[in-house]
Amino acid sequence: MIHFVLLISRQGKVRLTKWYSPYSQKERNKVIRELSGVILTRGPKLCNFVEWRGYKVVYKRYASLYFCMCIDQDDNELEVLEIIHHYVEILDRYFGSVCELDLIFNFHKAYYILDELLIAGELQESSKKTVARLIAAQDALVETAKEQASSISNIIAQATK
Amino acid sequence: MAGSSLMETLFQRTLDDLIKGLRLSLIGEAPFISKAMDEIRREIKSTDHHTKAVALQKLSYLSSLHFYDMSFAAFHVVELLSSSRFSHKRIAYHCASLSFNDTTPVLVLITNQLRKDLSSTSEYEVSLALECLSRIATPDLATDLTPEIFTLLSSSKVFVRKKAIGVILRVFDKYPDAARVCFKRLVENLESSDPQIVSAAVGVFCELSSKDPRSYLPLAPEFYRILVDSKNNWVLIKLLKIFAKLVPLEPRLGKRVVEPICDLMRRTGAKSLVFECVRTVVTSFSDFESAVRLAVEKVREFLVDDDPNLKYLALQALLIVAPKHLWAVLENKEVVIKSLSDVDLNIKLESLRLVMAMVSETNVAEISRVLLNYALKSDPVFCNEILGSILSTCSRNVYEIIVDFDWYVMTLGEMSRIPHCQKGDEIERQLVDIGMRVKDVRPVLVRLGRDLLIDPSLLGNPFLHRILSAAAWVSGEYVEFSRNPLELMEALLQPRTNLLPPPIRAVYLQATFKVIIFCLHSYLVPPASQLVPERNRPEGSDLATSNASAQFEREEGFNPRVLNQSFDDISGDDSEEIGASGDQTTCLASLGTNVWTDESVMNLLNKVEMGVGPLSGSHDVEILERAQNLLCFIELIRQDIINCVSQKEESLLRDETEAYKIIKMMQDAFSNELGPVSVTTQERVPVPDGLELKENLEDLETILPAVQLTSSISFSPESPIQDETAAAPFPTIQNKEESEPSNESTFLLAEHRKRHGLYYLPSEKKDVPNDYPPANDPKSQGNAEDLVKLTEQSLVPKKKSNHEKPRPMVVKLDGDVVAIAAKPQRKDDSLSDAVREVLFRSDTKSSSSQLKPLDSSSSKSKGKEKVNVDTPESKEDLTIDKQDNQNQSSRKSKHQAHGKDRKHRSLRNAGDEMTENGQEGKKKSSHRRSRSKARQRTDAPPSVIPQTQELRVFMDGPPNLLPIQNPPNSNILDWVVLGGLIEFSDSASIVSNSSLQAQPFILLESPSPPPPLLPPPPPPPPPPPPPAELEVKPNILPYMTDSELFTPAIAAQSNGRSPHKRVPKVAFMFLSRGPIPLGPLWEMFFKGHEGLYTIYVHSHPSFVDSTPENSVFYKRRIPSEPVEWGTSTMIDAERRLLANALLDSSNERFVLLSESCTPLFNFTIAYNYLTNAHKSFTASFDDPRKSGRGRYNPNMSPTISISEWRKGSQWFEVSRKIALEIVSDTKYYPIFVEHCNPPCYMDEHYIPTLINIICPEENSNRSVTWVDWSKSGPHPGKFGRNDVSDEFLSKIRFGSNCTYNGNTTTSLCFLFARKFLPNTLEPLLQFSPLLLNSSVQL
């Protein structure tokens, strides 16, 4: 299974983290520091796998962003590479040629998309279209709610209650 | 209050603001965040959900990217969870899954909210809750919410269901008992038609089975089905992982699965899938040679790929395959070696591991040499990786692969001189270890030690200190092998030793002490009384005569001249010291020994005093103590020595002096050999009474805060080992080794002395501390190609090469070889219990209740009695399973006992059987029904149990997997165990068929032996598991082969003449490779005649079936094996088809058809033609030509004579009687298998000959399948779309004459025709009104 997903920028800034195995806040910090040390220093055209603490970390660089997933020893590295690519494609489709800034400012969106893709460290949806549809539906749900909430009458009702 | 809320709402910083602020970071990141955190803390308390939500959103951002603790907000998260708005809920759930853990106190508060959301009508809310649960579920939550999950597992919304499946993993983990509830539904999801659901379910099973594969063995048939059917690579990869886990547990499974996997490997274009296949094969199918070959082929493709990922993975795969199939590595060694110089460190490491995997005792020396040369020019990291792997490989299993220890010790020395070497600790350990374990190598070790000690430049390298420590130790301990103890002493006392850390200096001092004792001892003690008489010392010190030297020269090839020369160099430089030793610097103490003069001894003592003196004030306790000891010792003996000197002539009195006694004593002490100590020794020593090991040690730390623990090699006297070998002569130093290197290093020492002045007043300033030169010039600057060349020879596995020396004895202790093969204890965790229970229904309670004594059931109805009688057997099976899952032999023996037991019991029940015989008919029908149920899973309500059954079927019934009887109240399909046979029926039928009983049981129990089973065909065909294996025969182990299929088939036949009338059916048996191209035509053929035919399809096991449900071919495949044209596998397949068809007792006629066969008439005609025929329609003729009798093998005689030999078309039509004969034939089949090899083709001869021998009168000797032999050649004519025409068909249909049922001559001879290519379907369909026209009458 996938133990965690990390998105780290080339400068070592963390852009997204998702933990499927229990790690305390302290451990999370440590893991990220350790891994960015290992991964960011690796040159281009090297293989995308790093052995780390008995696990394997599969990473792939897209523009300035490193997508990393930590998996078990006997998991399939190529499959995970495909999952990463899959995720990137969905992000791309959602944001329209996604860039790092999109992810910075839409942190939660990237999160929700990941949640539709993986559950409990397993791939749950392999269809890009389906994920896009689900996310759009949920966005719509939020939008209608937001419209209601931001209407003036609502605010006044809130204020005077 | 309200105002502030309004203000908060309107002026709250959103997440966007926060992010923008962070990016601007006007006031620096940390202050900005702490300011933001303050805001959040305030806002989060707001009563307004929106404000709270935004605050939490910001908090979750800071928490997950900046690692701020957000546990303080846990309660607010819970509050927000209850918001009715989706957007709020989403944020709250996100926060919960981000920050909650098992210890979060508010977790108990969310159970109800989760339950509510899980049963919400909005699928998105459900999905939020599920996602959160998948992350935070605790045992309590899992327990409470299992019912909801259970419901969701069969939700109609795919979106929700797949998430529920994902959550299962966590729920099972936290609350294993949930498996009792949910497992069945989870399994059902494997059969779902939605690929995403299947994918999710397979993913879960993949994870589950990685923890405890055994529990999921019963699901193997289901997995197999998906493996064959699925085209989704994600699913396939997971399935392969599952099989990789399952196959090692059940070898028979491997045979089934290996073919589809290989097929997948060949077929797929997806690299990830190919790699998974490869990995599965190399990990779990390493016994399947051809599969491994294929995998290695793929690996090779990967290896040469440009993609570093593939290369890396290929190397890993090779590493897995290496232990069992070294050839795979050797075949690719060129690439492997080249990879050593890859740019990627990871790839380099993998290839290094592979190279080390290739090491054997014959090539270890060469490989090590090559690698060491390579290490010299590698970067430090990789260099040390190389050294590390050489060290660990060579020392594996107490230096298993080392034959030439001299070489190895020298190699260790070489390693220590590699500039980047940081493996000092390990080298130190091994040097000492080898010294203790291998006696024969000690002289070399001492020489190496001397070379290392004497080189002052090494002292400057801190990485080498540990090695020097080992060198000092071996030099001191085995000083008797030293050529020149004096020199050694100098080296040990050289001023630069103050660069060493104190613990190592202490070792140096101790070594000095040993050397002194040795020198003094050899000075004082007359050789006659020497401990080691073999050393052959000369008579007395002052008698170091030429005569003795001559003796040495003669005896041992000793050559003092060379030595003298070397020392002359030194004496030239160093007048005082050497002068003191004078001419007898020939004090090659170890050998010539007693060449000591009194002056030299005095000199020695002085030197030691001078060198050690300053250390007596050391702050390090170890050094201090040892230095003091040494000084005191010298003080103690000095007077006596002086006396000795003054009374030179009376040297004979020496041995009375005090000094002599002391030295003798010390020498005795030191000569007590130290042996290796087993790691477990300490445990064996009982703690003496009153010795308190644990108390007060805490204080120690405060008292001695800065104590450095010294290296932890412990030595202990171990005389037993010594005693054993004491009689054996110590090897003497080989003089031929007295050559260049040591001279060179002696020269170095002399140089050093010249530089620093003798003895060595501390003059470090002159020293450049790290000026040691790299000991080995990296002169071999070759690149990878050179490497390849270099290793070319060494990697070729050689025959035992030139080991002049036999491998010396290596002392081993029992604790040395760690029991690697410790059997993994089966983890009997609760989840696997639960799963097993669901799969096997092995509730302990119910099974124990079934263990009633036999007699207690007598009052019940007969059927019940039967059940009760036999249940204990199944219970036995289960017990065996629990006791020992692995141990085949014990299982076997158990089963033999079991078989006897059963027989015994059956005698008692003989009376019952008699009555039961009368009920055959009823039993028969129930038997049939159950069978068809097993075959057509769609008919039965989906349940787990069929899979259990199918598994056995699948793997030919290992008895240890027998499910035991269901709890009586179960409403699903049950297992009833009947004697040796397991009957599958539903509980209703237990009552209705209360007397049901199976014929095979009687057959087996009858006093006459059962029909002999077929001997397994030469390449034992992997077990074909047709639906017939409802039967379990514990006395047939370990395989249930075709023969085990045939037995019930035969049995089904022999009692098949049931009293009541049946409508006969025709079995259409299709032997095909894959699909049936003319299927649509056949569909039309069969349409409307249900109940009059049964179809069986034997296709290649790897064929992926996509038959639609409404097809007559749907689910008609029988478990199959690969078929090769012209081999016995063809006959096996035909027999398999027949056996399956025989199991249906209404089948009266059996037609074998190929995939290219087309019907020529409609069903009614064919049916009537066949069922009314008196004879079978199988071509069988005596062909005198080469292609007939010419294929007869005289070795078949006398069983088959040439006059009985027949030839005929493979495509037979037989009656039930002949079908039975074919299936039960054990006499002729093996003869054919053995002797009928190409050009004898079994399919053309076996059945015709068999029929001719057994019942020629039952056969009409013609075939009803038309085929065109008019064209010459080995294969008949084929027909394409253009051949099909009205006239053509008419010619086939009515163009010949034959007899039917004796005397009727008819033109209707053929019902089917062969060799119609797939593209004839369209024209044939056009002619179908003609072909299937019902107006034609027989």
pLDDT, tens only, B209-266:
888 888 888 888 888 888 888 888 888 888 888 888 888 888 788 888 888 888 888 8
List, as ranges, residues 301-360 from B with C-beta within 8 Å of A: 308-309, 311-313, 343-344, 346-347
- What's residue B114's pLDDT? 86
- Those residues whose C-beta lies under 8 Å from the C-beta of residue B267, and which sit 6 or more positions away, are none
Q: Which of A21-35, B748-762, B1061-1075 has the lowest mean pLDDT?
A: B748-762
For B168, name the nearest residue in chain A, comparing CA atoms only: A120
CB contact under 8 A, A20 and B135: yes
pLDDT at B1263 over 80: yes
Q: Which residues of A touch B276 (CB under 8 A)?
A: 76, 79
Q: How confident is the model at residue B595 (pLDDT cuts 50, 70, 90)?
A: low
CB contact under 8 A, A141 and B86: yes
From A159's Cα to the closest Cα of chain B, the distance in A is 5
pLDDT at A69 over 90: yes
Q: How confident is the model at residue A105 (pLDDT cuts 50, 70, 90)?
A: confident
Q: Which of B19-23, B917-921, B1322-1326 has the lowest mean pLDDT?
A: B917-921
CB contact under 8 A, B234 and A74: no
According to the 3-state scheme, what is the secondary structure of B93-129? HHHHHHHCCCCCHHHHHHHHHHHHHHCCCCHHHHHHH
Q: How confident is the model at residue B1067 (pLDDT cuts 50, 70, 90)?
A: very high
- Whose tokens are 């035991």? That residue is B964
CB contact under 8 A, B272 and A105: no
pLDDT at B135 over 80: yes
- What's residue B192's pLDDT? 81
In terms of DSSP bridges, do strands B1265-1266 and B1213-1215 run parallel, antiparallel, or are they unpaired?
Answer: unpaired
Q: How confident is the model at residue B1337 (pLDDT cuts 50, 70, 90)?
A: low
pLDDT at B710 over 80: no
Residue among B451, B398, B427, B424 at smallest CA distance from B743: B451
Q: Which of A6-10, B814-818, B843-847, B1037-1041 has the lowest mean pLDDT?
A: B1037-1041
Q: How confident is the model at residue B1032 (pLDDT cuts 50, 70, 90)?
A: very low
The whole-number average pLDDT for the span A42-71 is 89
Which span out of B336-350, B972-986, B1315-1329 was modeled with the highest average pLDDT? Answer: B1315-1329
The whole-number average pLDDT for the span B93-104 is 85
Let me know: does B216 contact B209? Beta carbons within 8 Å: yes
Q: Which of B267-271, B614-618, B907-911, B1313-1317 has the lowest mean pLDDT?
A: B907-911
- What's residue B859's pLDDT? 40
The pLDDT > 70 percentage for chain B reads 64
Per the DSSP assignment, residues forming a β-bridge with A122 are A119
CB contact under 8 A, A141 and B87: yes
Let me know: does B742 contact B450? Beta carbons within 8 Å: yes
The Cα-based distances of B837 to B78, B712, B845 in angstroms read: 37, 52, 11
Per the DSSP assignment, residues forming a β-bridge with B1258 are none
Backbone phi, psi, residue A43, to 5°: -75, 175
Measured between alpha carbons, how far apart are the two ends of chain B, in Å?
A: 101
Tokens of B307: 């993609």
Tens-place pLDDT, residues B1139-1184: 888 888 888 899 999 888 989 888 888 888 888 888 888 888 888 8
For B136, name the nearest residue in chain A, comparing CA atoms only: A22
The whole-number average pLDDT for the span B579-608 is 55
For B306, name the nearest residue in chain A, comparing CA atoms only: A45
Q: Which amino acid is at B999?
A: Q
- Cα distance between residue B569 and residue B573, in whole Å: 7
pLDDT at B154 over 80: yes
CB of B19 less than 8 A from some CB of A: yes
Average pLDDT, chain B: 69
Chain A, chain B: beta-carbon pairs less than 8 Å apart: 155
Strands (E), B1050-1123: 1065-1071, 1093-1098
> Which parts of B478-597 fold into alpha helices (H)?
485-493, 502-524, 546-556, 560-573, 575-581
Tens-place pLDDT, residues A16-43: 999 988 888 888 888 998 898 888 888 8
- What's residue B1046's pLDDT? 60
Chain B interface mutation, best of A3, A9, A19, A78, highest count of B Cβ atoms under 10 Å: A78
Tens-place pLDDT, residues B765-806: 333 333 333 333 333 334 445 555 555 544 444 443 444 456
> Which parts of B322-461 fold into alpha helices (H)?
326-331, 333-339, 345-357, 364-376, 380-399, 405-416, 424-437, 442-454
Q: Which of B146-150, B518-522, B704-708, B1250-1254 has the lowest mean pLDDT?
A: B704-708
Residue among B1154, B1163, B1159, B1177 at smallest CA distance from B1289: B1159
Local structure of B408: helix, strand or coil:
helix
Q: Which of A51, A125, A149 sits opposite B50 (nearest CB)?
A: A149
- Please, what is the Cα angle at B190 between B189 and B194, to 5 degrees? 70
Tokens of B196: 């995403």
- Whose tokens are 């190598």? That residue is B441
CB contact under 8 A, B344 and A47: yes
Torsion of CA B891, B894, B900, B902, to 10 degrees: -80
- What's residue B1175's pLDDT? 87
- What's residue B807's pLDDT? 66
- Those residues whose C-beta lies under 8 Å from the C-beta of residue B1108, and which sit 6 or more positions away, are B1114
Which span out of B547-551, B676-680, B952-956 was modeled with the highest average pLDDT? Answer: B676-680
CB contact under 8 A, B90 and A127: no
pLDDT at A131 over 50: yes
Higher pLDDT, B1047 or A152: A152
pLDDT at B581 over 70: no
- Cα distance between residue B1009 and residue B779, in whole Å: 80
Higher pLDDT, B1081 or B975: B1081
For A59, name the nearest residue in chain B, comparing CA atoms only: B309
- Cα distance between residue B915 and residue B919, in whole Å: 7
Let me know: does B799 contact B352? Beta carbons within 8 Å: no
Q: Which of B66, B91, B309 sits opposite A78 (nearest CB)?
A: B309
pLDDT at B1062 over 50: yes
CB of B13 less than 8 A from some CB of A: no
Tens-place pLDDT, residues B809-862: 666 665 454 444 444 444 446 777 777 777 665 444 444 334 334 344 334 434
Element (H, E) at B1064: none
Which span out of B39-53, B480-494, B913-927 was modeled with the highest average pLDDT? Answer: B39-53
- Cα distance between residue B975 and residue B610, in whole Å: 93
pLDDT at B33 over 70: yes
From B672's Cα to the closest Cα of chain A, the distance in A is 45
- What's residue B1335's pLDDT? 64
Tell me how far apart the 2 most distant CA atoms of chain B are, in Å.
141
Taking each helix axis as running N to C, give the angle between helix A77-95 and helix A107-117, from 0 to 180 degrees, rounded to the nearest 10: 130
